[in-house]
């Protein structure tokens, strides 16, 4: 992804030009003159709060799955997966309001790529885990179908129509229905 952006947009050249023209100075972040230290502090505080909230969410998910005798995987699939996509949804709505759809699309694609990367990292750190083959095969088929359709839709006209979005939404609903019905 980074290579593709660099190849088309010459990202490093744009950064270099801005630094050379004095429009961007990385040291400004720490000089305090423009209140940029406050932004850095907010980022650090937000990261700490996110870490604390994530621990709380994991603990509460375990509690409620035991209390209601529901499978942890199902709660994670239905509730946590939507919750973790709330930042993408808020960015999507903000970009729609500001009529900048490229931001939303970049966020979707970047989030999907980052999720794959982090999944790989966490697997390396945590070690292997057990996936029942019946669950994996269904999930894999639906995942490949959705990804293939997404690729076809975006390659043919270079945009997603409402109908194509509805088809992708139906695939997600089908996935949820299959997962819920087989539990």
Per-residue pLDDT tens digits for 29-84? 555 555 666 777 777 888 888 888 888 888 888 888 898 888 887 788 777 777 77
CA–CA distance, 175 with 183 (Å, rounded to integer)? 13
Give the count of beta carbons closer than 10 Å to the beta carbon of residue 51: 10
Q: What is the pLDDT of residue 120?
A: 85
Q: What is the pLDDT of residue 86?
A: 77
pLDDT tens string 105-118: 777 777 777 878 88
The two three-digit tokens of residue 113, written as one number: 């790529």
Q: What is the pLDDT of residue 166?
A: 93
Average pLDDT over residues 173-178: 86
Q: What is the pLDDT of residue 33?
A: 52
pLDDT tens string 52-64: 888 888 888 888 8
Look at residue 3 and tell me whether its pLDDT is greater than 60: no
User: What sign does the CA torsion over 43, 46, 48, 51 have?
Assistant: negative
- Considering only CA atoms, which of 168, 158, 172, 166 is closest in space to residue 101? 158
Q: What is the pLDDT of residue 7?
A: 56
Phi and psi angles of residue 33, each rounded to the nearest 5 degrees, phi first = -65, -35
The two three-digit tokens of residue 6, written as one number: 């660099």
CA–CA distance, 14 with 102 (Å, rounded to integer)? 19
Higher-scoring residue by pLDDT: 162, 4: 162
Q: What is the pLDDT of residue 22?
A: 67
Share of the chain above pLDDT 70, in %: 76
User: What sign does the CA torsion over 132, 133, 139, 140 have?
Assistant: positive
Share of the chain above pLDDT 90, in %: 4
């Amino acid at each position: 992804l980074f290579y593709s952006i660099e190849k088309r947009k010459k990202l490093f050249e744009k950064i270099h030009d801005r630094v050379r023209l004095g429009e961007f100075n990385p040291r400004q972040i720490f000089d305090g003159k423009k209140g940029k230290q406050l932004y850095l502090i907010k980022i650090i505080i937000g990261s700490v709060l996110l870490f604390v909230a994530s621990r709380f969410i994991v603990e509460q998910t375990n509690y409620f799955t035991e209390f209601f005798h529901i499978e942890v995987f199902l709660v994670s699939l239905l509730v946590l997966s939507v919750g973790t996509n709330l930042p993408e949804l808020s960015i999507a709505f903000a970009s729609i309001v500001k009529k900048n759809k490229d931001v939303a699309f970049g966020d979707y694609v970047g989030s999907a790529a980052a999720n794959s990367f982090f999944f790989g990292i966490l697997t390396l750190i945590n070690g292997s885990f057990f996936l029942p083959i019946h669950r994996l095969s269904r999930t894999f088929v639906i995942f490949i179908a959705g990804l293939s359709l997404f690729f076809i839709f975006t390659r043919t006209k270079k945009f997603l129509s409402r109908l194509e979005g509805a088809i992708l939404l139906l695939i997600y609903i089908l996935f949820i229905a299959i997962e819920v019905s087989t539990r």
